[in-house]
């Protein structure tokens, strides 16, 4: 699947990141669904996930869904680094390719905040929600802009990247750069051996042991185990996903921690305690890199935080929109959250 070309562009200008690097002429690619109402009170923010584009979020949006574009104005900003917004694959020198600077979750949300406030004039968000790294951005929004976020529903993602999760991320990165064709990021052709290893590692983590045991990949239309490993995983990562972009987003993910939001000085618990809105964390029962226990830990500090586990064997991909049962579960929870009173600053 080629990268989508329908995104709109918000010119960020020069963005100075938490690291101190300044991305000059940065752009945020985004898409909207529905119409912003007159008093600008119906906007929902729905950030993207690791390597995902805004189009990859659309499965949760529809007139038959809680995220109904007839009612809500849904804004999907593409993460910096995902190839559509400013990324290693499109940044100008000196930050092109492997020289792209670290973009933290806080940086991502700062850029999205500017889109929402400067471009749309929105000052309140009835809901922020997202899957995986989109959940990380959801937590970040709730900590960085508690005055704006009325409700938060992070699913299959966390407020702080757990150490074990970092081991997974490092395994991906070291496998990709082990291929000499990666050429320190200045490759002329894709490092296909590295990408193959990358895809194989991801395949083991993305779905649960029981998913494979039960051959649930058949429900996705694959005809054999190998067909799934090649047709789903390898194709995904080799098809329009730039290796430097993949590595840049890993760096973002690796450093995820709401405690790093300015004002909290690294204190993750204090950051979680500062969240004002109702927050429903939805980890998946068998998620291997965002296990439910991490969200149990986080929500104990959030005044109006709770956990609802997505049951079943799909693991992390319970939140990927591929399994109707899980999608219904998430959709119903979002509907329930939207029906309850949100935080009003």
Q: How far is the CB of 132 from its own copies (least distance, A)?
A: 16
CB–CB of 246/148 below 8 Å?
no
What is the footprint of its own copies within residues 224-283 (CB under 8 A)? Answer: 225, 229
Instruction: Round to whole Å and give the CA distance between 132 and 79.
Output: 12
Tokens representing residue 156 in the block:
């299959």
Peptide bond connecting 205 to the previous residue in cis, omega within 30 degrees of 0: no
Active site residue 132: yes
- Pick the closer one to its own copies by CB: 276 or 316: 316
What is the footprint of its own copies within residues 79-98 (CB under 8 A)? Answer: none
Window of 9-17, 60-68, 186-194, 276-284 that interacts with its own copies by CB under 8 A: 186-194
- Pick the closer one to its own copies by CB: 139 or 207: 207
Cβ-based neighbour number of residue 63 at 10 Å:
10
Partners of 149 in beta bridges:
125
Q: How far is the CB of 293 from its own copies (least distance, A)?
A: 7
Active site residue 316: yes
Window of 17-25, 83-91, 212-220, 274-282 that interacts with its own copies by CB under 8 A: 212-220
Judged on CB neighbours under 10 Å (0-12, 13-18, 19+), 270 is middle
Q: How far is the CB of 299 from its own copies (least distance, A)?
A: 16
Q: Strands 43-45 and 127-131: what pairing?
A: parallel
What is the footprint of its own copies within residues 213-232 (CB under 8 A)? Answer: 213, 215, 225, 229
180 binds its own copies (CB under 8 A): yes
Return the closest-CA partner of residue 248 out of 201, 185, 332, 301: 185
How open is the CA angle 26-247-141, to the nearest 5 degrees?
Answer: 55
Window of 10-18, 111-119, 166-174, 243-251 that interacts with its own copies by CB under 8 A: 166-174
186 binds its own copies (CB under 8 A): no
CB–CB of 140/104 below 8 Å?
no
The residue to which tokens 């010119």 are assigned: 11
Instruction: Round to whole Å and give the CA distance between 111 and 108.
Output: 5
Window of 127-135, 175-183, 235-243, 268-276 that interacts with its own copies by CB under 8 A: 175-183
Among 291, 305, 320, 342, binds its own copies (CB under 8 A): 291
Among 59, 113, 120, 212, binds its own copies (CB under 8 A): 212
Return the closest-CA partner of residue 200 out of 234, 244, 248, 246: 234
CB–CB of 150/135 below 8 Å?
no
Among 49, 53, 168, 253, binds its own copies (CB under 8 A): 168
Return residues touching its own copies (CB under 8 A): 162-168, 170-171, 174-175, 177-181, 191, 193-194, 196-197, 200-201, 203-205, 207-213, 215, 225, 229, 288-289, 291, 293-294
Active site residues: 132, 287, 316
């Amino acid at each position: 699947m080629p990268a989508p070309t329908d995104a709109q562009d918000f010119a960020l200008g020069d963005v100075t990141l938490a690291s101190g690097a300044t991305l000059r002429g940065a752009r945020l690619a985004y898409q909207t669904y529905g119409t912003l109402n007159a008093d600008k009170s119906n906007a929902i923010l729905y950030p993207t996930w690791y390597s995902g584009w805004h189009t990859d979020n659309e499965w949760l949006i529809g007139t038959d869904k809680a995220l109904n574009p007839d009612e809500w104005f849904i804004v999907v900003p593409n993460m910096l680094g995902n190839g559509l917004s400013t990324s290693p694959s499109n940044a100008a020198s000196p930050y092109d390719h492997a020289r792209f600077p670290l973009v933290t979750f806080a940086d991502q949300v700062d850029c999205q905040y500017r889109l929402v406030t400067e471009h749309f004039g929105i000052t309140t968000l009835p809901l922020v929600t997202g899957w995986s790294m989109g959940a990380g951005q959801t937590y970040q929004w709730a900590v960085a802009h508690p005055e704006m976020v009325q409700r938060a529903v992070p699913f299959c993602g966390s407020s702080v990247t757990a150490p074990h999760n970092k081991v997974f991320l490092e395994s991906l990165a070291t496998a990709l750069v082990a291929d000499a064709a990666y050429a320190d990021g200045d490759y002329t052709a894709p490092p296909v051996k590295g990408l193959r290893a990358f895809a194989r590692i991801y395949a083991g983590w993305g779905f649960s042991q029981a998913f494979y045991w039960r051959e649930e990949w058949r429900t996705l239309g694959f005809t054999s185990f190998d067909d799934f490993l090649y047709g789903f995983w390898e194709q995904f990562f080799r098809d329009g996903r730039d290796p430097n972009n993949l590595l840049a987003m890993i760096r973002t993910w690796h450093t995820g921690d709401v405690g790093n939001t300015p004002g909290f000085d690294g204190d993750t618990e204090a950051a979680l305690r500062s969240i004002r809105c109702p927050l429903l964390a939805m980890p998946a029962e068998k998620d291997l890199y965002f296990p439910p226990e991490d969200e149990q830990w986080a929500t104990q500090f959030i005044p109006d935080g709770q956990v609802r586990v997505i049951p079943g064997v799909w693991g992390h991909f319970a939140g990927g929109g591929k399994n109707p049962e899980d999608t219904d579960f998430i959709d119903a929870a979002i509907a329930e959250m939207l029906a309850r009173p949100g935080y009003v600053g």
